[in-house]
Amino acid sequence: MYAPENQEFGKSSTNNTKMVPRTIGKSPVLKFPTFLFALVLPLFFMVGCSGSDQKKAPAESGKELVASLDRLFEELSTEDTNSSELSEEVVQLNEKIRRTIENIRPTGQLSEIAESYSKDAHGFSFTLSQDKKLGIFSWHTKMDASGNKIKNMALYDQGDRLEVSSLLSAPIIFEKIHQVESYKGQVLYVLQGKDDTGVGNFFRLDAYTLRDGLLEEAPAFPNNESSISIAQMDQETDPSVPLGFKVVMNGSRILIPEIQGDANEAQSLAFNGKKYVPEDQLDE
């Protein structure tokens, strides 16, 4: 029941309105031949079912999921990003991408996605941890006008299901997840990412851990930082110098390249069972 116009719902009208009985026998609708109802009624159900089928069901396998994302990113690639205005089409496509990833539920799909994913062959980036419990999706949104240039979505294994989470750190294209185990048996995930700044490259390592069912930043780097980063300018970079961080020895060593103009030589961080420290302090 709806309240009459200009009248608050739940308040009675000042008019003494009487309920007037309606004569059902004179209703023109009921004069419609009964046998036609039997023909028309199923059509209504068919139309209703057809409309509901337009909502795509979640992908049943990692391969289907990658194919669905490829179709969405192919559409996104055709959108113009030169405009300073935010395109509604781009916003809607990013929303569809987000929902597609959020619909990933069976834990086994992370491994299937990794098997179907090939680096540089898709419009998005995906990386999976060695224990297959943490996966990260990254992509360029083409929503630069909104300040949301890059989007990250993390999925982590909760045993019987996958949880979806945003990352607390600023979005970047993650390409690799390294992992080490602390002396207490806790797994530390080191996410390696980079971004093109237009005049050079920006590299970052973020430390995360799974604690009490939540994905949390971990203060695993010197000075209790959960993230370390470097920037290398194109015009200042020696071609012989490796770009970005180099994580080696199963994640237990991080090599930091020498930056031109920096008096310090290349550094190395070592994992001491709890956190990363300068290698010359490993035995302290």
The mean pLDDT value for 232-245 works out to 66
Strands 214-217, 246-248: pairing is unpaired
Q: How confident is the model at residue 15 (pLDDT cuts 50, 70, 90)?
A: very low
Tell me whether residue 226 is in a domain.
Answer: yes
Tell me whether residue 218 is in a domain.
Answer: yes
Q: Name the pTM for this structure.
A: 0.76
| Neighbour count for residue 150 (Cβ, 10 Å) | 18
Residues 236 and 191 grouped into a single domain: yes
Q: How confident is the model at residue 28 (pLDDT cuts 50, 70, 90)?
A: very low
pLDDT of residue 8: 38
Q: How confident is the model at residue 4 (pLDDT cuts 50, 70, 90)?
A: very low
Q: How confident is the model at residue 16 (pLDDT cuts 50, 70, 90)?
A: very low
Selection from 156, 112, 117 nearest residue 134 by Cα: 156
pLDDT of 46 > 50? The answer is no
Look at 200 and 83; give whichever has higher pLDDT.
Answer: 200
**Domain residues for 234?**
172-284
Fill in the amino acid letter for 147: G
Give the percent of the chain with pLDDT over 70: 72
CA-to-CA separations, 173 to 61, 120, 139, in angstroms, rounded: 24, 12, 7
Residues 262 and 188 grouped into a single domain: yes
Tell me whether residue 6 is in a domain.
Answer: no
Residues 65 and 162 grouped into a single domain: yes
Q: How confident is the model at residue 59 (pLDDT cuts 50, 70, 90)?
A: low
pLDDT of 139 > 90? The answer is yes
Residues 137 and 92 grouped into a single domain: yes
CA 72 to CA 249: how far, in whole Å? 38
Tell me whether residue 95 is in a domain.
Answer: yes
Residues 133 and 195 grouped into a single domain: no
Residues 176 and 284 grouped into a single domain: yes
Dmax over CA atoms of the chain, in Å, equals 97
Q: Give the end of a domain, one of 137, 166, 195.
A: 166
Residues 231 and 160 grouped into a single domain: no
- How many domains in the chain? 2
* 176 neighbors 183 (Cβ within 8 angstroms): no
pLDDT of residue 213: 87
Residues 278 and 184 grouped into a single domain: yes
pLDDT of 2 > 60? The answer is no
Tell me whether residue 76 is in a domain.
Answer: yes
pLDDT of 85 > 90? The answer is no
First-to-final CA distance of the chain:
76
Q: Give the end of a domain, one of 130, 146, 166.
A: 166
pLDDT of 32 > 70? The answer is no
Tell me whether residue 27 is in a domain.
Answer: no
